Amino acid sequence: MALVTTTEMFKKAYNGGYAVGAFNVNNMEIVQGITEAAGELNSPVILQVSKGARAYANHQYLVKMVEAAVINNPDIPIALHLDHGDSFELCKSCIDGGFTSVMIDLSSKSFAENIEGTRAVVEYAHEHGAVVEAELGTLAGVEDEVCVEAGNESYTRPEEVEEFVDKTGCDSLAIAIGTSHGAYKFTAAQCTRNEDGILVPPPLRFDVLEECIKRLPGFPIVLHGSSSVPQEFVKIVNQYGGNMPDAIGIPEAELRHAAELAVCKINIDSDIRLAMTANIRKYMAENPSHFDPRQYLKPARQAVKDMVAHKITNVLGSAGKA
Ligand code: G3H
Ligand code: 13P
Ligand code: ZN
Distance 255 CA to ligand 3 centre (A): 15
Q: How far apart are CA 181 and CA 91, in angstroms?
A: 21
DSSP at 315? I
pLDDT in tens, 96-115: 999 999 999 999 999 999 99
Q: How far apart are CA 157 and CA 167, in angstroms?
A: 16
Given a cut of 70, whether residue 309 has pLDDT beyond it is: yes
Q: What is the pLDDT of residue 152?
A: 58
Give CA separation, 145 vs 51, 208, 269, in Å: 10, 27, 16
Residue 182 Cβ inside 6 Å of ligand 2? The answer reads: yes
Using DSSP's 3-state secondary structure scheme, residue 184 falls into strand
For residue 76, how many C-alpha atoms fall within 13 Å in the half-sphere facing its CB? 28
Residues near ligand 1 (Cβ within 6 A): 24, 50, 52-53, 83-84, 143-144, 181, 269
- Could you give the dihedral angle defined by the CA atoms of residues 95, 174, 221 and 181, in that order, rounded to the nearest 10 degrees? 110
Given a cut of 70, whether residue 36 has pLDDT beyond it is: yes
What is the pLDDT confidence band of residue 86, given thresholds at 50, 70 and 90? very high
Look at strands 192-193 and 199-200 and give their pairing. antiparallel
Closest to 316 (Cα-Cα) out of 272, 244, 264, 250: 264
Q: How far apart are CA 38 and CA 87, in angstroms?
A: 31
Lowest mean pLDDT: which of 142-156, 250-264, 298-312? 142-156
What amino acid occupies position 90? Answer: L
Residue ranges and CATH numbers for the domains of the chain are 7-316 (3.20.20.70)
Sign of the C-alpha dihedral, residues 272, 148, 51, 38? positive
Using DSSP's 3-state secondary structure scheme, residue 7 falls into helix
